[in-house]
């Protein structure tokens, strides 16, 4: 579906966020990216969508080619749904309005100044129903809970009719029970629709449960790449050193009381 070939990212500050990394992501697989803070997960996800330009190497999408070419990048972005930690919704706009912004990539800037066609609204409503929010379709986004807002983020990605979903810590700001529900929903939709998903997480237990494949980074290098069953204590130590994150993440809420 998409591959990175010897991709290196050095930010203008001089930080080398990705050492040359090569990875191929197969169609339909749900890949979880793990790594301690600063390991390079966001940089990798952002380079998969052209938001970060590699200093060396290239990113090749199966149906668009090298995304360094502007036409290839446009085609690739149209079929790539991004889901962010902070939802990136427009608070004073309805759920339906927010989900419709997922269709803007299909229209010219001029066309998008006019109301979108009925068919697009029906597609948006179908996506909203799929994430269980149809009763909230006309509610302002900022009146929704964090978990509901993230479900709007998923619906907005779905209405793009993506082939690839890139999600950067999509459940990091949610409580553990809500995070589990949102991630289950995302994984189920990706499975049903055969979507390729690359999702960064901080919770090891969620990675073990939902991933087909886990790729872990440390200091910009791949230090683990395999199925969840192969993620043993030695691999966890390679990724996180002495402090794996499950000691403080995705515990039952009582643990924080
Ligand atoms: N825009 C930027 N300019 C300069 N340095 C950056 C930039 N973005 C990230 N970095 C640096 O690059 C390295 C990798 O950061 P990145 O955000 O990719 O890691 P991460 O694994 O996603 O971390 P986290 O889990 O905390 O989000 C870090 O050292 C970070 O400080």
Domain ranges of the chain: 23-46+164-257, 91-162
Q: Answer whether 152's CB lies under 8 Å from 87's CB.
A: yes
pTM: 0.90
23-46+164-257: which CATH number, 3.40.50.1100, 3.40.50.2300, 3.40.50.300, 2.60.120.590? 3.40.50.300
Cα 106 to ligand 1 centroid, rounded to whole Å: 31
Main-chain phi, psi angles of 64, to 5 degrees: -120, -20
Q: How confident is the model at residue 109, as a pLDDT? A: 56
Cα 158 to ligand 1 centroid, rounded to whole Å: 27
Specify the length of the chain in residues: 257
Q: Residue written as tokens 């149809």? A: 134
Q: How confident is the model at residue 113, as a pLDDT? A: 56
- Best mutation site among 4, 8, 11 for ligand 1 pocket (most ligand atoms within 8 Å of CB): 11
Q: Residue written as tokens 């706009």? A: 93
CA distance 69 to 133: 38
Q: How confident is the model at residue 252, as a pLDDT? A: 41
Q: Is the CB of 196 under 6 A from ligand 1?
A: no
Q: How confident is the model at residue 107, as a pLDDT? A: 63
The pLDDT averaged over each successive group of 10 residues in the chain (257 residues) is 96 95 96 96 96 96 93 93 85 93 70 69 92 94 94 94 95 91 95 97 94 97 96 92 59 38
ipTM: 0.96
Q: Is the CB of 40 under 6 A from ligand 1?
A: yes
Q: How confident is the model at residue 108, as a pLDDT? A: 59
How many Cα atoms occupy the beta-carbon half-sphere of 96 within 13 Å? 15
Q: Is the CB of 13 under 6 A from ligand 1?
A: yes
């Amino acid at each position: 579906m998409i591959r990175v070939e010897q991709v290196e990212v050095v930010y203008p500050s001089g930080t080398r966020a990705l050492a040359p990394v090569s990875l191929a992501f197969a169609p339909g697989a749900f890949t979880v990216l793990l790594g301690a803070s600063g390991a390079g997960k966001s940089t990798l996800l952002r380079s998969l969508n052209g938001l970060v330009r590699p200093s060396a190497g290239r990113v090749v999408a199966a149906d668009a080619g090298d995304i360094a070419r502007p036409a290839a990048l446009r085609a690739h972005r149209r079929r790539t749904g991004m889901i962010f930690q902070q939802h990136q919704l427009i608070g004073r706009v309805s759920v339906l309005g927010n989900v419709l912004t997922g269709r803007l990539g299909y229209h010219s800037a001029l066309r998008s100044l006019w109301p979108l066609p009925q068919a697009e609204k029906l597609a948006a409503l179908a996506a909203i129903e799929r994430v269980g929010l149809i009763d909230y379709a006309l509610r302002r986004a900022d009146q929704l809970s964090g978990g509901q807002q993230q479900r709007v983020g998923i619906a907005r990605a779905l209405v793009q009719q993506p082939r690839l979903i890139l999600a950067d810590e999509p459940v990091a700001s949610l409580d553990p029970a809500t995070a589990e529900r949102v991630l289950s929903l995302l994984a189920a939709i990706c499975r049903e629709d055969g979507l390729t998903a690359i999702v960064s997480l901080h919770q090891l237990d969620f990675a073990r449960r939902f991933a087909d494949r886990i790729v872990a980074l440390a200091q910009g290098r791949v230090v683990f790449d395999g199925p969840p069953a192969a993620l043993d204590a030695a691999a966890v130590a390679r990724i996180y050193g002495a402090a794996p994150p499950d000691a403080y993440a995705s515990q039952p809420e009582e643990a924080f009381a």
